[in-house]
Amino acid sequence: MNYEQTLQEKVALCLTLQGAKETFPFDNKMHALTIGGKIFALIHMYHGDLFVSVKCQPEKIDQLRDEYQSIIPGYHLNKKHWITLVINEKYDVEPKIEMALIQNSYQLIFDKLPKKAQYTVKFSTND
């Protein structure tokens, strides 16, 4: 599996969401996907695996972790609100579920934005 290509595909997937932007606030290897200046996904390589971290409702986290071995507590994040998908040869999360988790994270962050920022996002264009 070409993890660099997969990383770029995951970033591109996130960038299809309205108003999503890619930033590098930590270093040039940690891709932070933001909406209204707030992070909804972090994507980076770690020890040969690809990590995709997203926000999630606390009540869903245990169920997801029980169902998928590739979902772990948020790596270096608040484990009550974040999960990390570890993409490697044992990855067991279906693409449909993965996209739903990314969209859910995006929506959780969007819903917490001030109304003015939400308005700006709704009428922005992804260039």
> Would 64 be classed as within a structural domain?
yes
> Would 51 be classed as within a structural domain?
yes
> Would 117 be classed as within a structural domain?
no
What's the mean pLDDT in 86-112?
A: 96
Asked if residue 60 has pLDDT above 80, the reply is yes
Rounded to two decimals, the pTM is 0.91
Question: Whole domain around residue 99: which residue ranges?
Answer: 3-109
Residue 125 confidence (pLDDT): 67
Asked if residue 127 has pLDDT above 70, the reply is no
Domains of the chain: total:
1
- Distance between CA 81 and CA 15 in Å, rounded? 22
Q: What is the DSSP letter of 110?
A: H
Residues in the chain: 127
What's the mean pLDDT in 23-44?
A: 95
Cβ atoms of residues 53 and 74 within 8 Å: yes
> Would 121 be classed as within a structural domain?
no
Which CATH number does the domain housing residue 104 bear?
3.90.1150.30
Q: Which of 6, 12, 56, 7 is closest to 28 using CA atoms?
A: 7
Q: Which two tokens stand for residue 21?
A: 């932007």
What's the mean pLDDT in 18-26?
A: 94
> Would 19 be classed as within a structural domain?
yes
Helices (H), 16-126: 58-67, 95-112, 115-122
The helix (H) or strand (E) run that includes residue 12 is: helix 3-15
